[in-house]
Amino acid sequence: MVYGIQGTGQSSPDADPEQDAGFLSRVLAPAMREAGEYMDRAYVPYDAGFGGAVPGGTKPYAESVDGAVTTAKNWIKDKAADCPATKFGLVGYSQGAHAVRVVLNDIVNGQTAIDADQLALVANFGDPGRPEGAPLFPGRPGQSSPSPVPGTVGEAVSQVIAAVPSTPQGGGIAPEADVDDTAYHAIAGRYLSSCTDGDLACDAPANAPLAHLVTNIAGQSELNPGDPLGSLSTIAEALAMTTVKTAVPLINEDIQAPENNLESLSYEPSQTLSQRLATASDPRTPLPSISDALSAVIKVGTIGLNAVKTVVQTVATPETIGALAVAGATNPLAVVGILGAKLGEAAVALAPPATQKRWVSNAFDAFKAELGANKDLFEISSLLKYRDAAKQHSSYSDVAATPTGAPPTTLVADWITAAAKDIAGEETTTSTTTRTSGQLLSSYPSVPSSSPAPSTTSSSTTTTASTTAPASSVSEPPSTSATPTVSGDLPPFMTGEESSQ
């Protein structure tokens, strides 16, 4: 059972789960034609929105991803209950790939109805949750064929051959919490992440927490051009929460004042400010506890109170009060000069030259650290790399991914077909041709469109309809002449319809 999660603008809550449309139809429709009775597929309907910034859904990106994750997990739960022997596949594109990554993390961490051994395959295109520098098969550098489905010898999938491309050195632009390397190591070899060099969704600069900050804030916001005030309010709310979640740990952990005064004050960061902001801007990062917040307030308040005491002790002396009284009686403007001089003396007392030098040094060190943490944002070569980011994000049905020149969409379609037949236990046919991807589909006998539906005892799928999951389409597999339909142009990632993403 393969569940596909489409990209931004390519789905909706009421989308037909059985309709081959959008980018992923280029993968699942040909796989269904060839695998026939050995598999079923459904497209997860969800908002697929970016806060109204693109046609379609109006929910903020983060809520949209959560909706896809919830639906996919519910469908998996229902299907597994109907037929416990079912093996599952997950395929995602762009925002849908982000959702697939979250579902994968939850499966590996034991938060779903199935375990990792029930995953036959996971394939993502342009995944915002891709780890930095991850190869085509994350966790298996240099591997060119998928690993067997658990419980099979993998004879068919071993004949799916991918070219081993150069690895984009960047990583996904999603919140760093979604880039969980333990998840893909748990199913290494059965997880494919296709990323075109320069696709900002999956190949964002490796050293750029500020990029994650901007994306996280945008992902929580409603970006509706028709309601600018409403959009600003959601942005302001996201920024306010980020500020609170950044300031409290920064004060408690990075601001040092052993004597609770300005003279002993120093800034010794355990991580850069932009790294703290990137973490805090993730909506799932919890707010500080009451005790942590109180500790920060008391720390700042104590330092501030001691500073006020220094000012009062310097300004409010009997001599100064007498001088102010005389000056006020004869020349009120002279009061300003007297107070100015005294406040200047207080400022020197608050921040003597040695303290000022230490603060300047701290500030300079912090600035250098920020530049280092975000250095890829400031390199011209990095900026030029993304001049065609929209084109690269929609390139997965065009660029070569196999020795025969077939694209990633064909590679994954071949893999799904082979996995389904391995699960069903069909003996592979012999062929004199090299079965690299792009030739594999033709090397298997096609299943006739009149093939009977599988029995309910099948080990690979079930015809029992779930109350939540979509009705099975196994009994009427598409004919081999069916052509997948793609509804409209693919939405570009950084320009045009997906300008905000």
State the pLDDT at residue 157.
95
Q: Which of 451, 474, 413 is nearest to 157 (CA)?
A: 413
Question: Which pLDDT belongs to residue 55?
Answer: 63
**224's tokens:** 């509706």
Q: How far is CA 119 from CA 34, 191, 245, 354, in A?
A: 20, 9, 36, 62
Q: Domains, the chain, ranges and CATH?
A: 2-205+385-488 (3.40.50.1820), 215-373 (no CATH)
pLDDT tens by residue, 424-461: 986 444 332 334 455 444 333 333 333 333 333 333 44
Task: Please tell me the predicted confidence (pLDDT) of residue 169.
Answer: 85
Does residue 234 contact residue 227 with C-beta atoms inside 8 Å?
no
Q: In this structure, are residues 118 and 77 in contact, taking their beta carbons and an 8 Å threshold?
A: no
Structure tokens at 232: 């600003």
Spatial contact of 209 and 374, defined as CB atoms under 8 Å apart: yes
Question: Global pTM?
Answer: 0.67
pLDDT for 74: 97
* Token pair belonging to 246: 């950044």
What tens-digit pLDDT sequence spans the chain (501 residues)? 999 999 988 999 999 999 999 999 999 999 999 998 899 999 999 998 876 666 666 788 888 999 999 999 999 999 999 999 999 999 999 999 999 999 999 999 999 999 999 999 999 999 998 988 899 999 899 899 999 999 999 999 999 999 977 788 888 888 877 776 777 888 999 999 999 988 888 888 776 777 767 776 766 666 666 666 666 777 777 778 878 888 888 888 888 888 877 777 788 888 877 778 877 777 778 888 888 888 888 888 887 777 777 777 776 677 777 776 666 666 777 767 777 777 677 677 666 777 777 777 777 777 667 666 666 555 555 555 666 777 888 899 999 999 999 999 999 999 999 999 999 986 444 332 334 455 444 333 333 333 333 333 333 443 333 334 444 433 333 333 333 443 333 333 333 344 333
Task: Give the list of residues 6+ apart from residue 341 with CB closer than 8 angstroms, or none.
Answer: none
